[in-house]
Amino acid sequence: MNAYEEYMREMARPMREELTNAGFDELTTPESVDQFMAENKESALVVINSVCGCAAGLARPAAIASLTGDKKPSKLVTVFAGQDREATSRMREYFEGTEPSSPSMALVKDGKLQYFIPREQIEGFEVEEIMTQLTDAYSKYC
């Protein structure tokens, strides 16, 4: 790992920990993504994390806050765009019909995309509006 990669990994650590401390499991390799998608039969929230401001100020807080209700996904996972590139790319392959987007959030079940929130529905919105998108999806798919 070169000095730049090391620096970026260190800078991203608190951004990773914000989700892992909230119960999200990190998928850092294409193999871990494939294993999760093949074996998980329950509803799962997937957060494609990012270093950008809308991930910090909107996506991560909304994802975490959306988990307080009774109806929520059984599993929580995350991949980190720009950090774990291969894992992120592999996860995006499961999101058929969507454009790559960072940050973004998806609800998956049985290896299939159920609901997707792209960056365009995160950036410029309030945390509460994003939470509502998620909780509405949980009501429908969880």
Active-site residues, by number, are: 52, 54
CA-CA-CA-CA dihedral for 115, 117, 118, 121, to nearest 10: 140
Residues 130 and 109: their CA atoms lie apart, in Å, by 20
Query: Residue for token digits 């592999």?
Result: 90
- DSSP symbols for 15-78: HHHHHHTTTPEE--SHHHHHHHHHH--S-EEEEEE-SSHHIIIIIHHHHHHGGGSSS--SEEEE
113 pairs with which residues across the strands? 108
